[in-house]
Amino acid sequence: MAWSPMLWKLLVEYLRPHRQLLIAVVVFQLAQSIASLYLPTLNADIIDQGVARGDTGYILSTGSVMLLITLAQIACAVIAVYFGAKAAMGLGRDLRGAIFARVGEFSEQEVTRFGAPSLITRSTNDVQQVQQLVLMSATMMVAAPMLSIGGVIMAIRQDVQLSWLIAVCVPVLLVAVGLIVTRMVPLFRKMQTRIDTVNRVLREQLTGIRVVRAFVREDMETARFAQANADVTDVALRAGRLMALMFPVVMLVLNVSSVAVIWFGSFRIEDGSMQVGTLIAFLSYLMQILMSVMMATFMAVMIPRAAVSADRIGDVLSTESSVRPPLNPVSSAASSDGGRRGELEMLDVGFAYPGADQPVLSGISFTATPGQTTAIIGSTGSGKTTLVNLMPRLFDATTGSVRIDGVDLRELHPDLLWGHIGLVPQRPYLFSGTVRSNLLYGKPDATEEELWTALSIAQAQDFVERMEGGLDAPISQGGTNVSGGQRQRLAIARALVKRPELYIFDDSFSSLDTGTDARLRQALKQNTAGATLVIIAQRVSSIVDADQILVLDDGRIVARGSHGELLETSETYREIVSSQLAAEETV
């Protein structure tokens, strides 16, 4: 069916705050419809009473009334469209806000399942389809049933004998339009999916433009986009052909109906059972009835696409995050001596992605204590990134528990949990704005002194001072106007401004040269003495001073200890070290 339960649910729920506007639309559309229905009767009176009798005064007076009614009709139409547009825009705003709020609750698992391009399409194009449906309903659909029902009543009042034409023409039009619309629904659903594909391909190409050019794959990517673009065009053309067929069908029924009324009405005028004005009024009412059906066909074109869009929006709004907030959250996490410390503990933690045959992590147990640095190292695919995602509860552990200060993360209030943690991701992201606005993301009320202190610790003060504007220097989206090392240091400074109890550095020193890396680690050690530091690294030189090093292999901790201890006891660690350090550094 063209109309979906989800579309109805969204309209009922999100138009409720705008019900006063909708009431106003109905009232003014009702007034407009009454005026439209009354005008043909006045026109018939002018012809049958004024023109036939040569009564100029009656013609002028009745014509003046028709002019006033027409002006009132125009005013009602304008006001109805204004209120309808206001309600539609409000619906669009509320839907976009609801989608954004729900996506903000998603874990990384749900975001990955939908995909960023699809979520963007659902927040923009799909919302626009539902919004457009409301706008067109306010301008057309509200008046259509009033005009059709009122037109039937008024046409029967004019002449009962010709009313059989209405009983024939309207069903013919409805059946013809219905057959076309039912074939458009799957096309619109396919069109929205293919728009997702175009967005995904375009986003990949823009994001990976350097890779595309480095491997000289412009022709291949152009062909890939051309194929996605052609797929959208193909389904749009098929839907467009059906849409183009609809209006000739409607016009054919309208014209044949007009000819039939004039044909059969002429015989009734000839035998004196009908007047000319009555015939013209009946024809006007039949046209109003059919025009209201034609207005409904406009809606019939829009409803299938809006229904598809509503289903896609509903998929997002009805999806619950796999990381759910606790029903009775713990509002504080404290150590045994009563103070917050930031101790991180993992107890027999395991994690498996839905549908996966093997878990990514198994039997992970360790404790990262305040004032110490815990480092995690391992080969590619060993599960380091997944382990990092469990610490700030971007994922929930499948088995075991992750705790901060003895409290399971699943029992902590989300705001309290994230207030404990300063995360620097493997791929640091900067928002469009300024250096200052990005640093304040960690602590909105931070002073300028705190910002410069964080930059100094992160070894970013020098290059920020050289930037035009200093703290107010512009940063483009994603931080593309600064180098990879500068982007990493700004991300580290953003976490330092927050002054959390637990710092998590996910391979955050990989873009730094050896000297900057060493100075940064020394500064961190001096300025985060009371905090817990967890460093995930690929480079051994970044973790040689760590108090505790965990060696991860195939989702399990295969060794733990200091750098010196692991060199003696762990073959896996020695292999990692020997592949990175010179022979004299491994002795």
Residues 108-132 have a mean pLDDT of: 86
Q: pLDDT per residue over 172-221, tens digit each?
A: 887 887 788 778 777 877 887 788 788 888 878 877 787 888 778 888 88
**Nearest alpha carbon to residue 135 among 90, 175, 202:** 90
* pLDDT at residue 159 in the model: 78
Range with top average pLDDT, 57-66, 123-132, 144-153, 328-337: 123-132
- Cα distance between residue 257 and residue 542, in whole Å: 84
pLDDT beyond 50 at 380: yes
**Higher model confidence: residue 559 or residue 327?**
559
Note the pLDDT of residue 453. 92
1 pLDDT band, cuts 50/70/90, is very low
Query: Does residue 334 register a pLDDT over 60?
Result: no
How sure is the predictor about 583, in pLDDT bands with cuts at 50, 70 and 90? Answer: very low
Q: Distance (Å, rounded) from C-alpha 221 to C-alpha 205?
A: 7
Report d(CA 201, CA 117) in Å as an integer.
9
DSSP state for residue 18 in the 8-state scheme:
G
Whole-number pLDDT of residue 333: 54
Sequence-separated (6 or more) residues with CB below 8 Å from residue 86: 18, 21
Is it the case that residue 430 has pLDDT exceeding 80? yes
Domain 5-317 class, CATH top level: mainly alpha
**Residues 221-253: tens digit of each pLDDT:** 889 889 999 998 998 898 888 878 877 887 888
Say what the pLDDT of residue 336 is: 41
In this model, does residue 584 exceed pLDDT 70?
A: no
Cα–Cα distance, 265 to 460 (Å, whole number): 89
- Least confident piece of the model among 80-89, 266-275, 369-378, 556-565: 266-275
Give per-residue pLDDT as tens, 295-318: 777 676 778 778 888 988 999 999
Q: Is 363 left (phi over 0), alpha (psi -120 to 50) or beta?
A: left
Longest dimension (CA), the chain: 121
Is 306 within 8 Å of 132 (Cβ atoms)? yes
Which residues, other chains included, contact 35 with Cβ-Cβ below 8 Å and sequence gap of 6+? 69, 70, 72, 73, 76
pLDDT at position 6, please? 87
Q: Which one is predicted more confidently, 37 or 189?
A: 37
Q: How far apart are CA 385 and CA 108, in angstroms?
A: 12
| Structure confidence at residue 184 (pLDDT) | 78
74-83, 102-111, 535-544 — most confident range: 74-83
CA–CA gap between residue 142 and residue 36 (Å, rounded):
14
pLDDT band for position 95 (cuts 50, 70, 90): very high
Closest CA to 2 of 179, 157, 152: 179
So where are the chain's domains?
5-317, 344-586
Taking the domain 344-586, which CATH number applies?
Answer: 3.40.50.300
What percent of the chain is modeled with pLDDT above 90? Answer: 18
Distance in angstroms (rounded) separating the CA atoms of residues 587 and 577: 10
Q: Is the pLDDT of residue 76 over 50?
A: yes
Burial 24-50 (b: 16+ CB within 10 A, else e): bbbebbbbbbbbbbbbbbebbbbbbeb
For residues 388 and 400, give the distance between their C-alpha atoms in angstroms, rounded to a whole number: 15
DSSP 353: -
pLDDT band for 338, please (50, 70, 90 cuts). very low
Q: What is the CA radius of gyration of the chain?
A: 35
Nearest to 60 by CA among 41, 73, 45: 45
Cβ distance 30 to 146 under 8 Å? yes
Single-letter amino acid, residue 172: V
Q: What is the predicted pLDDT for the residue at 20?
A: 92
Task: List the single range of 24-38, 263-277, 370-384 with lowest mean pLDDT.
Answer: 263-277
Confidence of residue 332 (pLDDT cuts 50, 70, 90): low
Give the rounded distance of the alpha carbon of 40 from its chain centre. 48
Please name which of 429, 155, 387 lies closest in space to residue 290, comparing C-alpha atoms: 155
Polymer length in residues for the chain: 587
Tokens linked to 338: 């009563």
Identify the pLDDT of residue 348: 92
As a whole number, mean pLDDT of residues 500-504 equals 89
Cα–Cα distance measured from residue 109 to residue 481, given in angstroms and rounded to the nearest whole number: 30
Q: Which of 146 and 28 is assigned the larger pLDDT?
A: 28
Q: Could you give the angle at the alpha carbon of 411 between the alpha carbons of 405 and 412, nearest 5°?
A: 60
40 contacts 53 by C-beta, under 8 angstroms = no
In angstroms, the CA 426 to CA 511 distance is 10
**What pLDDT is stored for residue 581 in this prediction?**
58
Full DSSP string of 182-241:
HHHHHHHHHHHHHHHHHHHHHHHHHHTHHHHHHTT-HHHHHHHHHHHHHHHHHHHHHHHH
pLDDT at 337: 46
Specify the 3-state DSSP secondary structure of 247: helix
Q: What average pLDDT score do residues 419-436 get?
A: 87
Q: Alpha carbon of 301 to those of 5, 184, 310: distances in Å?
A: 18, 8, 15
- The SS3 assignment for 67 reads helix
pLDDT for the residue 3: 55
pLDDT at 335: 44
The answer on pLDDT for 582 being more than 70 is no
The per-residue pLDDT for 52 is: 62
pLDDT recorded at residue 515: 83
The pTM for the full model equals: 0.72
